[in-house]
Each structure stands twice: as structure tokens, then as C-alpha cells.
Structure 1
Amino acid sequence: MKSYKAVLLAALTAVLLGGQAVAADKLRIGTEGAYPPFNEIDNTGKAVGFDLDIAHALCEKMGAECSVVTSDWDGIIPALNTRRFDFLVASMSITEERQRAVDFTDPYYTNKLQFVAPKNSDFKVDKDYLKGKTIGAQRATIAGQWLEEDIGDLVNIRLYDTQENAYLDMASGRIDGVLADVFVQYEWLQSDAGSDFEFKGDPVFDDDKIGIAVRKGDPLRERLNKALKEIVEDGTYEKINAKYFPFSIY
């Protein structure tokens, strides 16, 4: 009888401890840290931004203790798949090519692509004007892909390791314009560095779904989807959105 009670007590303890383990599991968030206002490194060395606020809100809903790991954009999917971190929140567009390497959650916002160029330029979003111009975009992004697939035969495309370097080249006159996510461009245009630039033309693509990436087949995807639904329904998402934008990006 003592043996039976001991086994039963051990089983109940394991269940209870198991529940606590799930409630306090430790997860690592992967991000780039060079894409304000979505993810960037502040002056204390901490990764901050819209992406990180969303990620931490999801961790809270999942009862997980989360830390942040940064990675260069070019190698960020390989870093996920080699387990440097557990899920990737870095304003990543959901594309067919990427879906062959990772699984995505439901979208957590919808992006658009739009050109930015100097205010004093006659930049136009038409093929006659763009022919022979040099346009910048960040490497391995949907903006770079759009340039290559849609107007690659017209323009000279220059790809950059970070968005900031594309802006620096445009400010120095080495490129004629930049194509990037509209919300990133919006943030930059509000800054001192972007004050002499403006949006040009309408968005060229307006249905860019942004998701959280996990390794193929990882059940964490469903936990993240459930948590995302919860932060949308309880108003947490809206509060985070309002911290960065005067309009909804969901």
C-alpha cells in the first residue's frame, strides 16, 4: 500500500510540476534589431520596438519567460533553424519561398511597399521616369524582390544589409530612391534624417502579410496563434499599435 501511495503521489507531483514547467517555459525571441520602429537596439543595448512589444505580450499570454536574441537579417532564418532562438519576430513577410523553410503564424500586421525620394526631386512611379534610375532596398526583403521581379529590367537595383544604409546612400545622392515597408518609411520620414524626403506615388504592393516564424512542424505555432488572438481581443494589441502609429496596422 505504501508503495502504491508513493507511486500515486509521485505521479500527481509530476503532473503538477509538469503544469508549472509549461507555465514557466523559457523561450528565445529572434529579431534583427536594425529595423525601427519595429525592432532596434536602444542606447542601453536592449532590443526594443513594435515587434518586441508584441513578442513579449505573446510570451505573457503563453506563460513563458522570454529572452531576445539578435541576428543579421541575411542569416536570420538559418539562425532559427539551427535553434539559436525559438521563434522569429522581425517584421518578416510571409512568402512561398520562406514557407518552404519555416512555418508562419497568422499575420500580426499587414504591410505595404512604397517609394521614398528627396522632396525636391521629380521622382515619379512610372516606367518612363524610372528607366535607368538607381533604386535601393534592403537585401532579402519583399521590397528587393518586387524591384527585381517587376522593374528589374528598367532600373539599377542596389541592395543593402540594413535599411539605414539604404537611407544613407539616398541622402548622399548615390541612389535616386528607396523602396521599403510603408510603416518603416513613415517612421523615418518623421525623423531629422528623413525630413528632406517624402513618399512618392501610391503603394506599389498593399497586401504584404507579416508573420511570426517557427521551425517546420513546431507546435509552438499554435500556441502563438492562440496568444495573438487573445491580445487582439483584450485590447493589448491596440495599445501597442497606438504606442507607435496613429493608425491601425493590423
Structure 2
Amino acid sequence: MNIKDTLLGRRAVLAGVAAAVVVGVSACSTAGTASSTGGSQKTITVATSNDAPFSFTEGGGDTLKGIDGEMINAIAEAKGWKVEVFVTDFNTLISALQAKKADVIVDAMYITDERKKQINFTDPWYTEGEGLLVPADSDIKTRDDLSGKVVGAQTGTAFADFIKTLGAKDTKFFDSQAALVAAVANKQVDAAITDSAVLAYSFKQNPNPKVKLVSPYTPHFPGTIGAGVRKDDTQLLDDLNSGLADLKKSPKYLEILKKYGLDESNEK
């Protein structure tokens, strides 16, 4: 997943909904509801764009990982449900749900008024926004400190325009997140604005002692994440909300956030 997908697709006010659904990994291909029962066990089909660190599989498997992925797994385990996975492009997730190719969207989708016209959202799962990346020895603490500094962002993202509004002495743009991080580490720029969850997860995999994410930090682009269901699927909505409430009462909720680089500030 790149940052362009993150900001311009997932976290835009409304991703465009294509008519065709691109099918990836799915155990459900029939018309009608994707839910089924095998004996007494209910099966729910979860739609994802296979998007780390939010909701993804590895090696074409049918087991979800990631922040959202592990949360739906925990809810399903508590409810006694079986989870099957349906992979499609992010901009076709809503149309896939409406076509009953899946029962629930679990893919770090921002809850917005525009999206709520098409689907129902669960109670908030967590919050997520951009992060402020600086050299490890930097004393920059807020966006206000960027005035007169050299600030970087990745080309093609919402951040590329945003950093031009921060009073920077100069702005620099990079074609990849790796190049952006390297520029901060090498002090080609004084700071960079990028997606916090993606970067935090990458640092969990490959720590970089030359840089740090400013914390605490209040994002300019805050987003509240929820799972999406069809408008008429009220029972599933209630079940997901009750399962989420139970999960939030348990230590596992924060454990999942921290596993993927988030923390208490992302709790909702």
C-alpha cells in the first residue's frame, strides 16, 4: 500500500465506487447474502483491499491480520463465527458489500457523512491520521514549529499540498515513503508529514534510530475508523457493536493497536 492510496483513496471524503468488483481471495461467489451457517456456526465474509497494516492476508491465505483484521477476528471468536475473506480494490469495497459479495467491510475505512448515505457503520473502532516525522535529535513538537523549516512529503498525496500551507522555508517532494524517511534521517529536510499508522508499522518491522514520530501529536487529518455493513443488515450491526464493546473492555484491544504501531492516543 502506498501513501497515495491511503490519503486519496481510503481517507478521502468518499472513494469513487466502481460498478465492477474485482475478486481476489474469496470463499463466496454466489448471489444473495454472503453470510452462511455451517451447522450451528455462522460464517461472515469480510471485504478488504489487502492493506497493511490495517487488514491484510499473507501468501494468499484466508486469515486476516492487521489492526482491523485482528479486531474482527477477536469479535468473531467471541461470537463463535467463522471468518472468510473477500479481496477487492478499495474503491470497490462498498459496491461489493451492496452486491452481497461480502457481509462487512473491515479495512480502515473512515466514517464520513457521504459514505453513511450508502452503508451503515459500526461504532468507532479507533482513530488514525497523519504523523509528523523528524530527525531523532529534533526539538520540533508541533506543526507550528515547521514555520521557516524545510518540510517534505510524498508526491501525489494530500500531504504534498498540505505542507505548502505550513509556512515552510522550502518544500521537497519524494516518490516513495522510503525516500521520504531517508531524507529526514539524512537531514535533507527538517521534517516530513506522512501517514502515521503506515509509518509506525514500518518502524515496527524495521526500526530506524535516526528518526522519530512526534508524540503526542494532534493530526490535521484525523479520521475515525469503523466497519461497514449494508443498510438493512441491522442484526449484524448490533452484533458487531456488542462484540466491539466487549473487545474494548479487554486488554486485547490496546494490544492490537500497539502491535501495529499505534497506542492509547488512537483509542476511540
**So what's the TM-score if we normalise by structure 2?**
0.61
The one-letter code sitting in structure 2 at the alignment partner of 1:227 is G
Identity %: 22
Aligned position for 1:113: 130
Residue deviations 1:155-194 (CA, integer Å, cap 9, x gap): 98989xxxxx841452576x9744213x332222344375
Q: 1:229 to 1:22 in 2, by over 3 A?
A: farther
Q: Which runs of 5+ in 2 are unaligned?
A: 1-36
Asked if 1:61 is matched to 2:81, the reply is no
Measured on the aligned residues, the alpha-carbon RMSD in Å equals 4.1
Residue deviations 1:112-142 (CA, integer Å, cap 9, x gap): 42133666999983575579x6633886xxx
Aligned position for 2:153: 135
Aligned length: 217
Cα distance between partner residues in 2 of 1:73 and 1:107:
19
Cα distance between partner residues in 1 of 2:239 and 2:125:
14
Q: Which structure shows the bigger proportion of residues in strand conformation?
A: 1
**So what's the TM-score if we normalise by structure 1?**
0.65
- Select the residue among 202, 222, 225 that pairs with 1:188: 202
Q: Residues 137 and 180 of structure 1 are in contact (CA less than 8 Å); yes or no, is this contact kept in structure 2? A: no
Structure with bigger gyration radius: 1
Q: Which moved more, 1:204-213 or 1:187-196?
A: 187-196
The one-letter code sitting in structure 1 at the alignment partner of 2:248 is V
- Select the residue among 27, 50, 53 that pairs with 2:67: 50
Determine helix, strand or coil for the equivalent of 2:56: strand
Q: Which moved more, 1:57-66 or 1:41-50?
A: 41-50
Q: Which runs of 5+ in 1 are unaligned?
A: 1-19, 160-164
1:81-96 maps to which residues of 2 (within 5 A)?
81-96=98-113
- The CA deviation at 1:104 is 0.8
Q: Which structure shows the bigger proportion of residues in helix conformation?
A: 1
Asked if 1:216 is matched to 2:234, the reply is no
Q: 1:27 to 1:137 in 2, by over 3 A?
A: farther
Aligned position for 1:170: 180
Cα distance between partner residues in 2 of 1:112 and 1:200:
13
Q: Residues 204 and 261 of structure 2 are in contact (CA less than 8 Å); yes or no, is this contact kept in structure 1? A: no
- The CA deviation at 1:27 is 1.0
Q: 1:193 to 1:76 in 2, by over 3 A?
A: farther
Q: Residues 57 and 64 of structure 2 are in contact (CA less than 8 Å); yes or no, is this contact kept in structure 1? A: yes
- The CA deviation at 1:75 is 2.8
Residue deviations 1:5-41 (CA, integer Å, cap 9, x gap): xxxxxxxxxxxxxxx87952221011222222x3333
Determine helix, strand or coil for the equivalent of 1:184: helix
Cα distance between partner residues in 1 of 2:148 and 2:99:
44
- The CA deviation at 1:55 is 0.6
